[in-house]
């Protein structure tokens, strides 16, 4: 508050602090691997399967964070979090409407005072083609610029694409603009992969069992704006 005079007492700012609590949720899977395959290729095959399990875990986490609706047994997705900003998206127009939605998302975030932090877009790949043909100045300046699929910029902000965002093939794709330092992801241990040589021994297989304990929470929902852009 403004002070009455040079030495007036300070007013209580009324600041309220809150916290987010992360609690472990389990991502789990298993894969049976033929002993014949292992005999032919040794540890190389096992390492390849473990690598694929890690990638599949990352994809499951991606889908849980960016899905419009909360994924069963997972923490609440960003799209299903209360008080995330939304707006009425543009009617489809080739090469213009998707870019218009991204610009509107920035504006909505700015009005909600969500423009401080690690700002970026995260979008469904369904939006990629429309953004590539969009132009800030027709036939002169492309709206999206950069090196490759996930090293692009739009309106001066990084844009990342993930199939974790909800989409409808040939019709629409979800996107988010926000300050990503407000999304907290906690891992309660490293990725745990157990090699089980016994369960499927009678079938000449070993079983690789994966468990990962993870949680994510949004600290400031108003630091994010969600939209669903039409692509046709």
179-211 pLDDT per residue, tens: 999 999 999 988 899 999 999 999 999 999 999
What pLDDT, on a 0 to 100 scale, did the predictor assign at position 111?
A: 97
60-108 pLDDT per residue, tens: 999 999 999 999 999 999 999 999 999 999 999 999 999 999 999 999 9
Average pLDDT score over the chain: 92
What pLDDT, on a 0 to 100 scale, did the predictor assign at position 50?
A: 85
96-136 pLDDT per residue, tens: 999 999 999 999 999 999 999 999 999 999 999 999 898 87
Q: What is the pTM of this model?
A: 0.87
Q: Does pLDDT of 42 surpass 80? A: no
Q: Does pLDDT of 47 surpass 90? A: no
| 146 band by pLDDT with thresholds 50, 70 and 90 | confident
Nearby residues of 90 by Cβ (< 8 Å), 6 or more positions away: 96, 97, 98, 100, 101, 104, 229, 230
């Amino acid at each position: 508050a403004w002070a009455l005079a040079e030495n007036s007492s300070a007013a209580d700012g009324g600041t309220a602090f809150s916290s987010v609590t992360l609690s472990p949720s389990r991502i789990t899977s298993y894969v049976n691997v033929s002993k014949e395959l292992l005999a032919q290729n040794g540890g190389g095959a096992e390492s390849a399967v473990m690598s694929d399990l890690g990638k599949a875990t990352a994809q499951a986490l991606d889908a849980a964070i960016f899905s419009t609706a909360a994924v069963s047994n997972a923490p609440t997705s960003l799209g299903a979090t209360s008080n995330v900003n939304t707006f009425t998206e543009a009617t489809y127009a080739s090469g213009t409407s998707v870019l218009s939605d991204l610009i509107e998302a920035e504006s909505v975030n700015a009005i909600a005072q969500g423009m401080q932090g690690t700002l970026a877009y995260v979008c469904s790949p369904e939006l990629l083609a429309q953004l590539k043909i969009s132009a800030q100045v027709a036939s002169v300046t492309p709206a999206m610029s950069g090196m490759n699929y996930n090293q692009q910029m739009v309106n001066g902000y990084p844009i990342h694409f993930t199939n974790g965002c909800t989409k409808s093939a040939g019709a629409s794709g979800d996107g988010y603009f926000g300050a990503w330092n407000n999304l907290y992801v906690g891992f309660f241990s490293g990725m745990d992969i157990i090699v089980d040589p016994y369960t499927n021994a009678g079938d000449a297989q070993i079983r690789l069992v994966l468990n990962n304990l993870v949680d994510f929470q949004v600290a400031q929902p108003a630091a994010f704006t969600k939209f669903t852009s039409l692509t046709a």
